[in-house]
Amino acid sequence: MSDFLVHPFQLYNLFFSSCKQFNRFIHQRTGRLPKNAYLFQLAFQHKSLYPGITQNNERLELLGDAILSAAVTDYLYRSYPEQTEGFLTEIKSRLVSRSQLNQIAQTLGLNQYVQADISEEDLQRNAILGNTLEALTGAVYLDGGYTAARKFIEKKIIKDVINLEDVIQSDDNYKSKLVEWAQHVGKEVRFRQLKAETINGHQYFTCGAYMDDQLVGQGSGYSKKEAEQLAAKEALATWSNEHHSN
């Protein structure tokens, strides 16, 4: 459907529906006038709201995760024709990482409409906002097809929210930096898993960075890699503060 052709249901949802404020929010954030408003409402409904009932955003989240990954890869493939597969894979993984998706969702203000029976603190700590973004992507896809979802991801996320060059230039391999520094001062670094738990259906890890068997940093994330990177980041920050205070 052309961007200039609007279905009567879409105009109704935008101006006359009892959910017109929510529908306007969706239009502003996705660039799309919802045809099936229920899909978008479901995208914001976390399973904690009605435990044991399947009417939540988990299925949309699963679908949106796949669409988001495909659209980001598609965009990077077309935007960087001279780059290697390794480069594309690395930048894609940064763009769709759990922490990045949480941050994007926060910037888009999705937290305003999330329906969940949890505290605001848990909402920020857990992956719920990033999951909601994935579910929203799934809703856009079902409502308008892949082209609509791709436009949403490219324009409203990659171009409007993310500074792609900053993502490419960022050097966030704290683990390598810590190992390199430890070798420089004649110490050995090891990473250990301290805890693993399941939060909202996702595994959540806590790892520690040890230098000569002494805990020097700790981090948590939705993968061991992310947790180890955050542990290394904390260790480097601690070392930097001690170095500058002496």
Place of tokens 């920020």: 124
164 and 203 both lie in a single domain = no
**What does the pLDDT average to over 171-190?**
85
| Domain boundary residue, one of 140, 169, 198 | 169
H or E segment to which residue 234 belongs: helix 224-245
217 and 146 both lie in a single domain = no
* 3 within domain boundaries: no
136 and 200 both lie in a single domain = no
Of 130, 62, 125, 136, nearest in space to 98 by CA: 130
Per-residue pLDDT tens over the stretch 59-77: 999 999 999 999 999 999 9
- Label residue 49 by pLDDT band (50, 70, 90): confident
CA atoms within 13 A on the CB side of 202: 18
180 and 157 both lie in a single domain = no
Residue 47: domain span: 8-169
Per-residue pLDDT tens over the stretch 187-216: 899 999 999 998 767 788 999 999 988 999
* 39 within domain boundaries: yes
Q: Assess whether pLDDT exceeds 90 at residue 243.
A: no
- Whichever domain contains 208, its CATH number is 3.30.160.20
- Catalogue the long-range contacts made by 194-198 (C-beta closer than 8 Å, 24 or more residues apart): 194/218
Catalytic residues: 65, 134
* Polymer length of the chain: 246
100's CB contacts (< 8 A; 6+ apart) are: 94, 130, 162
